[in-house]
Amino acid sequence: MTASLETTDLRKAFGGVTALDGATVRFRHGQVNALIGPNGSGKTTFFNCVTGMIRPDSGRTTYRGADITRKAPHAIARAGIGRTFQLCRVFPRMTALDNVLAAVRPGGVLGGLRGARSRAQTDRAREWLTRLGIEHLTDVEARNMSWGQQKLLELAGVLMADPETVLLDEPAGGVNPALLDRIGTLVRELNAEGRTFVIVEHNMDLVMSISDHIVVFDRGRPIAEGPPSMIRTDERVLGAYLGV
């Protein structure tokens, strides 16, 4: 299976705390990949290093064979990687439509504040809002939405930029069951259309139901990987989660 996103010996420490300890990982192209592990195992730090939010102390990240280790976040996004955040990032005083359009407007947020928009972009933004089931919030400011609705809005903005690979950081966190089902269904639909996913998530029901391939982290490095059927019974995984 071809690797979409790959790291080699990725390391990152914050003071005396080692967050990533030689993480060598291959996420499979065209699949729904999951990255799981106990709290503090380095999952979000891994996402931050891969997407250029922070720089690793050492190691290498490649995407579709190209080295992206030292690239800036905007360059990594242009290469085809989009991501959401554990604490979702939306513009609270902008409407849902303007939040989505900000992802593709010239000048980003400043372009959005100036009201620059094209008919084609506006139509596409509305299509994503509809597909995520929040079209009724088109003209509502993000600050007036529920947490789950804001997560869907953030994802709509990411998808508006048309990434080939999407990294989702805890999409189920704080989301009600109805919205959670919508996210799971959407991930599988988008994957069937050709997008690769890497999902950090603690909701094991969601992980096991939508993932093709799972990587398990503990103490900053992978300890197991494989399909859900294998991960469910892996003794190393049970030990990391349950301390047995």
Note if the pTM is more than 0.85.
yes
* Alpha carbon distance 189, 73 (integer Å): 27
Higher-pLDDT residue of 115 and 44 is 44
Q: What's the pLDDT tens digit per position in 145-167?
A: 999 899 999 999 999 999 999 99
CA dihedral 117→122→128→129, nearest 10 degrees, is 100
* pLDDT classification of 228: cutoffs 50, 70, 90: very high
Q: For position 178, what pLDDT does the model report?
A: 81
CA 135 – CA 129 distance, rounded (Å): 5
Please indicate whether residue 139 or residue 106 has the higher confidence score (pLDDT).
139
User: Mean per-residue pLDDT for 95-110?
Assistant: 77
Task: State mean pLDDT over 21-45.
Answer: 94
**What average pLDDT score do residues 184-190 get?**
94
Tokens of 164: 């080939």
Is the confidence at residue 180, as pLDDT, over 90? no
pLDDT(108) > 50 = no
User: Which CA distances in Å does 161 have to 53, 77, 105, 152?
Assistant: 18, 9, 10, 15
Q: Largest alpha-carbon pair distance within the chain? A: 58
How high is the pLDDT of residue 172? 85
So where are the chain's domains? 1-80+163-244, 92-162
Q: Which two tokens stand for residue 35?
A: 């990255």
CATH topology for 1-80+163-244? Rossmann fold (3.40.50)
In the chain, DSSP assigns E strands to: 3-14, 17-28, 32-36, 58-63, 66-67, 81-83, 165-169, 196-200, 213-218, 221-226
Residue 112 has pLDDT above 50, yes or no: no
Confidence grade of residue 179 (pLDDT, cut at 50, 70, 90): confident
pLDDT of amino acid 24: 96
